[in-house]
Chains A and B, each alone.
Chain A
Amino acid sequence: MNANHMNGKQAIGMWKRLWLWFDELTGLGATLGPVMTHLVPRAKKTRWFYVLGSATLVVFLVQVVTGIALSNSYVAGSGQAYESLRFITQNHLGRILRGIHDIGASAMIILVGLHAIRVYLMGAYKYPRQMNWLTGAGLLLFTILMAFTGQLLRWDQNGFWTAVVAAEQAGKVPIIGPWLAHFLLAGDTAGGATLSRFFAAHVFFIPACIFLFLGLHLYLVLYNGISEPPKAGEPVDPRTYRRGYHRLLERDGVPFWPDAAWRDLFFGMLVVITIVVLAIVIGPAKLGKPPDPTIIQASPRPDWYFLWYFALLTLIPNWIERWVIVVGPLVFGLFLILLPLIAPRGERSPLRRPWSILVVGSIVAMIGYYTHMGFVAPWAPRLDAQPLPTQVVGAATGPVAAGAKLFHDKGCEYCHAISGYGGIRGPDLTYVGDRLKPDQIETRIFSGAVNMPSYSKILKPEELRDLLAFLDSRRRLATAGASPPAP
């Protein structure tokens, strides 16, 4: 026991001597010590809001570590990436690593978003922290680009078609669109060179930008100091701000390490534990079919964090789509850039900037609404809809049964639901017989609409007769016995 104690002491003594030797040669203690213990304002009630930025950094580091580990087995070639991903996923630890990287990406998007909202609501982008905000805006952009390129590196069918859809979207940008599309694909078609382009962006180019901006961002956090919690009635005045801030620190500051840093580390740990547990329990996004362009049974959709944008582009009228693709991100980018430049002074407290709450509220509501729409995807036909069962049709033979078969075969069911079967792109036709007379239905079938093809040249007269017989039989009383399918 005593010997152990002595050994422990000796070991500590040895580490200490080693550190002293190292420190004497590098001077790191003298340089970093004051950095770690610099004074920060007491945040009191809002102190837990200040952990979001550091948590984003923690998750970024998690992404770097897991990304490097994954890159040891991932083959960045269009022909082999899919197989290498299958290999990684079949390995127990590989699956967990992919899971951490995948869920880490989601966590980073959420945290960077929350951090930006916190800074915006607390008016911390005002003097002297405009550059903090601008470098942060850059980091937000790079995080989004990482999420996008990363989703694509999951080079399955969805990844492949995401590249195609991204190129098509880029192609709609006025003037430079086509060039941009070819640049994204690294050629004329989505093929051998495309994946390498996204891989290089994801692991070299964008991370290099992130490290650069992150360095600057952290330096600025130190240089300008962590913002104090805003107080209503104490507007920022650039002429007096720095003096006031330093007086505040002298009066009531606490050393960053450990008084504030422990909270960052504690929250960071919770985030990491959550990510790892989710990675073990849920695992990474499933690999779809291989990225074979000739397997056309594909319905590409982006990961959840881009779903809202995808939904938005789908739901706006066609003629403005071209402009929204360009103007939307441009307006958002300009807002981020101009905000600290045009409002560097004045009140910081959200209580005195109620419109800031309104801005955040509407952005969050918009993203929430369109994300929901993205999941429901009311615009997407259900191409996997099965023929209606006899108990729904209500007849096994005769014109009604024949009409029900046509309703499926001619594609009506992909967009129109009957008794819970079929798509939701067009109106539900469960009780269409109650609403419309046969000649009204016929007119609609023949003339079509913006989102419905005209069937005038497609249906033969007898087919039309059967289809009308079937649709006319869709009435409350007639279908009362039919129960909707289990979800």
Chain B
Amino acid sequence: MDDSQAPRPEFPIEDPERRRFFGKVGAICASIAGVIVAIPAVSFLLGLRKAPRDWRVLGKVEEFPVGETKLVSFLDPSPLPWAGVTAKTAAWLRHEEEQKFIAFSVNCTHLGCPVRWLPEADLFMCPCHGGVYYGNGTVASGPPPKPLPTYPVRVRDGNVEILTTPLPISGE
């Protein structure tokens, strides 16, 4: 049969008003479908994991001679089961006086590189851009804008304990 002679199907929506309406219905349906998928997906993506803070034992007080600064490592408060070695965190622990400890973040306040302790010089030095801090964490020279952040430390039952803390972001 010739196409031109085929009977045109009866479209009930010849009216332009109705067409506009159906156009809108289509767009709204698509948006609803999109939004109900996007909401959980995006919120899951943006929902950052807030690590709980917890006290971790670093060792007995006697293990840290007075006047010395030592590297200590401890476990994140609730490491993800697959975190492996990255569940650990390091800090520089300085035994100031008898019951007084101070724990410095290993992260340089410039761009976060791990600072190293030079025991002979009583200085922290950053390998990335040569930032230097004095033994008490204040900036001695170079790019770091702020002193080394400290973690809360306490002595309980002869143990030195540290409060786990999020990575210090120096822009904060």
Contacts and interface: CB of A to CB of B under 8 A. Distances in A.
Which 4 A-B pairs rank lowest in CB-CB distance, beginning with the nearest?
Answer: A79-B84, A192-B80, A453-B140, A192-B83
Interface stretch (B21-29, B32-40, B119-127, B154-162): B119-127
Contacts of B130: 379-381, 415, 425, 451
A188 B111 contact: no
B144 to A, nearest CB: 9
A189 B120 contact: no
Contact of B49 (A172, A186, A322, A383): A186
Nearest to A410: B121
Contacts of B76: 189, 191
A105 B163 CA distance: 42
A181 B166 CA distance: 12
Interface stretch (A292-300, A388-396, A477-485): A292-300
Interface stretch (A116-124, A158-166, A222-230, A243-251): A158-166
A151 interface: no
Given A171-B172, A188-B48, A296-B116, 12 more contacts: A77-B84, A78-B83, A79-B84, A177-B172, A186-B48, A192-B82, A192-B84, A192-B87, A292-B85, A380-B129, A411-B121, A453-B123
Contacts of A189: 51, 76, 89, 166-167
Interface string A151-193: 0000000001100110111111100011001110111111111
B145 interface: yes
Contacts of B128: 165, 299-300, 314, 380
Contact of B71 (A294, A411, A415): A294
A164 B167 contact: yes
A127 interface: no
B142 A172 contact: no
Contact of A411 (B48, B82, B118, B170): B118
B80 A454 contact: no
Given A182-B169, A409-B120, A292 B86 contact: yes
Contact of B85 (A79, A194, A321, A381): A79
B83 A79 contact: yes
A193 to B, nearest CB: 6
B132 interface: yes
B65 interface: no
B45 to A, nearest CB: 9
Contacts of B134: 453, 457
Contact of B114 (A177, A182, A296): A296
Interface in A88-131: none
A71 interface: no
Given A78-B82, A168-B112, A314-B143, A458 B171 contact: no
A448 interface: yes
A448 B140 contact: yes
Contacts of B167: 164, 167, 185, 188-190
B84 A78 contact: yes
Interface of A: 77-80, 82, 160-161, 164-165, 167-173, 177-178, 181-183, 185-195, 290-294, 296-300, 313-314, 318, 321-322, 379-381, 383, 409-411, 414-415, 425, 448-454, 457-458
Contacts of B112: 161, 164-165, 167-168
B84 A80 contact: yes
Contacts of A164: 107, 112-113, 167
29 contacts: A78-B85, A79-B86, A160-B86, A161-B113, A167-B167, A167-B169, A168-B107, A168-B169, A168-B171, A171-B170, A173-B171, A181-B171, A185-B167, A187-B49, A187-B50, A189-B89, A189-B166, A190-B167, A191-B83, A191-B86, A192-B79, A294-B88, A314-B128, A314-B143, A411-B123, A449-B141, A450-B141, A451-B130, A457-B134
Contacts of A181: 169, 171
B90 interface: yes
Nearest to A80: B84
Contacts of A414: 125
A235 B102 CA distance: 70
Contact of B48 (A183, A300, A457): A183
A141 to B, nearest CB: 20
Contacts of B140: 448, 453-454
A293 B123 contact: no
Contacts of B84: 77-80, 82, 192
B125 A411 contact: yes
A293 B89 CA distance: 6
A291 B51 contact: no
Nearest to A425: B130
A360 B139 CA distance: 40
B46 interface: yes
Nearest to A381: B130
A195 B81 CA distance: 14
Contacts of B148: none
